[in-house]
Structure 1
Amino acid sequence: MSWYEDWFNQDEYELVYHRRDEREAEQVVDLIEQLAQPAPGSEILDVGCGRGRHARVLARRGYRVTGIDVAERALQIAQARAAAEGLSNVRFVRHDMRNPFCQACFDGVVNLFTAFGFFEEDADHFRAIRAMATALRPGGWLVQDFLNADYVQRYLVPRDQEQRSGIEVIQERWIENGRVNKRIRLRRDGQEQIFYESVRLLRLEDFQQLYRAAGLTLEATRGDYAGGPFTPDSPRLILYARKTAA
């Protein structure tokens, strides 16, 4: 099992990322609407949707949303939360982002909170971008939210720890072979669980190359969820692209 299927299925995932809340998701969707200006009722594919934090915000705003992910437990949680809100315009499907979900059936695609860069082979990253492009109708839009590799390298915190709900959370980070890696240690009642993350440090020029090969045109970048410009010191690399209309 890949690290992302293992870790993203754990209930403790939300404990570690407790700061990534509904308020942040609302801000991200505000930015998506500013960049893409989706038509009311647009059909949107959320690739790597996880527990559906962004998909549910999009659905609340009237879009028809499909969230895909490989983490089955995360999808179950997403579906339960959408049902609890009475959201009938969102669905969640287990699917590998490297494989096309459909052909020309969505107005927009989102890929958020660094739900990318996981794969060992760069060819798989291209497969995933191509699958996103394939899902778009001609002229459709893509918003992709990734880490800023320069920022990560400059400000990497090698280690931190905190107590959350009786659990000691220790995070250790390092950069190796063009990837940023994290070891997550969760200690409770004398027991320890260990999980890992590993993300390829893709840069703007890497995405530009991937987009061109997939028939996408990069139209804008942003450096944070407030819509600030992208610079080497930006915490995020947010990309807005369009599929060739022909």
Structure 2
Amino acid sequence: MSDTANCKAENWYASWFDTPYYHILYKDRNYREAQIFMDNLTHYLNLPEKAKVLDLACGKGRHSIYLNQLGYDVIGADLSENSIAEANKNANDTLHFVVHDKREPFEQKFDAIFNLFTSFGYFENEADDLKTLLAIKESLSEYGFAVIDFMNAHQVIENLIPEETKEVDGIVFHIKRYVSDGFIIKEIDFEDNGCPHHYVEKVRAYTLEDFQRMMNEAGIYLLDTFGDYKLKKFHKNSSERLIMIFK
């Protein structure tokens, strides 16, 4: 009997974000750069001391923790129960974590809502992304601001690496990238302990124009756009990021 016969079948609902492999593959992400981004962002927004901040799609809460260290009252929200269980180890009086679907508004209101590091555009149906924007709008206080930090789809598609192999912690990840039906798709294949694994990441290739259209529909005011974590001007053909400030 082969090793693979004992392998758990990967069902469509098996969450990539809930697996340890997601965190292994992306362990080299630049969190210092992320902290500089949050320093710049909170300074730009001129958030008051002890402002109520929502980190929407917070993962294991690393950025929520940093925002809390800056002196804000933070809630980190994510759909992944495993991630929230991990994040909750860091909870305190002004830092809380909840399992939450971002399409649903919060009852309490926030001075700032951050949706960071391309945590948008995962849904099959664009109507769910519009729902998410409306939920963000409804969860803001009267003077609150929201921020979506998205990839610059133009630049990503222009520089797409179709195939790549990456070894992390002894696991060899085979990665394929392509564009299909308006989504940028990444297929990830690897073996661990003799078991094959296959995961797919799908993010809708929204452009600034797409966001503007959805925001108009949601009655949202786009106040500013930036192209990187130092808050430099957005350029469609060269910027690394598409950072949008709205209310």
- Taking a change above 3 Å as real, the CA distance of residues 146 and 173 of structure 1, as seen in their structure-2 partners, is same
From 87, 91, 98, the equivalent of 2:96 is 91
From 122, 147, 152, the equivalent of 2:126 is 122
**TM-score, structure 2 normalization:** 0.90
**C-alpha deviations, 1:184-228, integer Å up to 9, x for none?**
112234332111100111111121222233332111111111222
1:76 aligns with 2:85: yes
Q: Matched residues in 1 for 2:66 and 2:206: separation?
A: 27
Q: Matched residues in 2 for 1:181 and 1:44: separation?
A: 31
Q: Matched residues in 2 for 1:202 and 1:192: separation?
A: 32
Q: Matched residues in 2 for 1:59 and 1:21: separation?
A: 19
Residue 169 of structure 1 corresponds to: 173
Structure 1 runs (4+) greater than 6 angstroms displaced: 1-5
Deviates more, 1:14-23 or 1:1-10: 1-10
The answer on whether the counterparts of 2:130 and 2:214 sit within 8 Å (CA) in structure 1 is yes
1:216 aligns with 2:220: yes
Aligned residues: 237
Q: Matched residues in 2 for 1:31 and 1:183: separation?
A: 33
Q: Offset of 1:5 from its aligned partner?
A: 6.6
**TM-score, structure 1 normalization:** 0.90
5+ residue gaps in structure 1?
none
**C-alpha deviations, 1:25-50, integer Å up to 9, x for none?**
21221232133121111001111111
Residue 197 of structure 1 corresponds to: 201
Computed over aligned residues only, the root mean square deviation of the Cα atoms, in angstroms, reads 1.8
Q: Matched residues in 1 for 2:43 and 2:162: separation?
A: 35
Residue 185 of structure 1 corresponds to: 189
The 3-state SS of whatever aligns with 1:216 is coil
- Taking a change above 3 Å as real, the CA distance of residues 5 and 228 of structure 1, as seen in their structure-2 partners, is farther
The 3-state SS of whatever aligns with 2:15 is helix
**Structure ID, larger Rg:** 2
The 3-state SS of whatever aligns with 1:228 is coil
The answer on whether the counterparts of 2:226 and 2:232 sit within 8 Å (CA) in structure 1 is yes
- Taking a change above 3 Å as real, the CA distance of residues 5 and 204 of structure 1, as seen in their structure-2 partners, is farther
5+ residue gaps in structure 2?
1-9
Q: Matched residues in 1 for 2:179 and 2:206: separation?
A: 13
Q: Matched residues in 1 for 2:48 and 2:219: separation?
A: 22
